[in-house]
Amino acid sequence: MLATAPERAGLDDEQLRGMYQRMLTIRQFEDRVKYESSAGNVLGPTHLYIGEEAIAVGVCTALRPDDYITSTHRGHGHAIAKGCQPRRMMAELFGRETGVCHGRGGSMHIADFSVGMLGANAIVAGGIPLATGVGLAIQLKQTDQVIAGFFGESASNRGPFHEGLNMSAVWHLPVLFVCENNQFGQYTYASQVMLIENVSDRAAAYGMPGLTVDGNDVLAVYQAAREAIARLRRGDGPVLLECKTYRMEGHNIGDELYYRRPGEQESWKAKDPIARLRDCLQDWGALTAAQDAEIIADVQAEIEEAVSFAAASPYASTDTIYDDVFSSDYQVTP
Ligand SMILES: Cc1ncc(C[n+]2csc(CCOP(=O)(O)OP(=O)(O)O)c2C)c(N)n1
């Protein structure tokens, strides 16, 4: 069942505007990545998060700075929501030395341990066992940190999902499993490859709570995540949170979307998570027209600066290309 959040979810005006700004930052970052990719400046395959911003921001707002996340091939939004700098991410996508992984990782391997972003992952469901392992590490260290592991609904059809959830449940690990159900697995409708409507139903098989929320409602996501995280910090074990949304773009940049049903994208545009939050904030008197214009201008300036920074940065030198890729003990024979 879709859960809904009570108005404002206990957040003050500034916190609500902060969520709005982070969602806009993700949207503008992604719009610009699409443009820069067509201009030939972004290296490697790239998957956009447009339309799914409420999930990353809702969950990460409920986390503490010292908590962790794992991510997916569609990970730019998770990274920004957890605190990665857009300029260092853009530089990473441009393959530059100033990138968050010194230009060696690219879009699908962004990681920034300084903010608890433990890594995007090109292997579908690859982040799930990692999140489980981090949950075990937290438990052994006896801190009250938690980890949120993001993944798509198609990942829940793979073995690591089932192993990760079972092990986490048995050991009561502090892992929030966040399923982003955007209704597609690459070029296939999820409904063609799974016969259940809600991925959250799978939680029952492992004896953990499962919940489905409207993934285009940032406050519903935030509230569900906050309650789940409180449970994790008490040591009561993991939760599976499914957020229903829609992938507004193709699977990757360049996907021509020949398989998408006509009219579908347009109907989801009416549920755009950013416009929806903005309308609510305006209704509640939490966002004046002047504040909105200022936030939009700030975000635009930040993304513009990120591109300038990336474009002006040097590519990694071939002399150091293996640095930060292999351990210093590992001998690479050219
Ligand atoms: C183990 C594995 N199998 C297949 C692929 C190819 N692949 C990349 S993304 C993707 C679909 C993933 O769908 P989902 O998990 O729902 O995430 P979404 O792309 O919708 O965010 C597939 C099949 C892969 N990267 N890894």
**132-189 per-position pLDDT tens digit:** 999 999 999 999 999 999 999 999 999 999 999 999 999 999 999 999 999 999 999 9
Using one digit for the tens of pLDDT, what is the confidence trace for 299-311? 999 999 999 999 9
> Can you list the domains of the chain with their CATH numbers?
2-313 (3.40.50.970)
Q: Evaluate: CB of 75 within 6 angstroms of ligand 1.
A: no
Bigger pLDDT: 333 vs 2:
333
pLDDT class of 1 with cuts at 50, 70, 90: very low
d(CA 132, CA 120) in angstroms, rounded, equals 15
Using one digit for the tens of pLDDT, what is the confidence trace for 44-70? 999 999 999 999 999 999 999 999 999
Q: How many angstroms is it from 7 CA to the middle of ligand 1? A: 35
Q: How many angstroms is it from 227 CA to the middle of ligand 1? A: 29
Q: Are 150 and 72 in contact (CB under 8 A)?
A: yes
Bridge-based pairing of strands 188-189 and 184-185 is antiparallel
Q: Tokens 């920004």, residue?
A: 80
Contacts of 47 (CB under 8 A, 6+ apart): 73, 74, 107, 108, 251, 252, 253
Q: What is the mean pLDDT of residues 235-239?
A: 98
* Ligand 1, atom 25, residue with closest C-alpha: 123
Q: Evaluate: CB of 188 within 6 angstroms of ligand 1.
A: no
Task: Indicate the pTM of the whole model.
Answer: 0.96
Q: How many angstroms is it from 98 CA to the middle of ligand 1? A: 28
Q: Evaluate: CB of 184 within 6 angstroms of ligand 1.
A: yes
Q: How many angstroms is it from 51 CA to the middle of ligand 1? A: 18
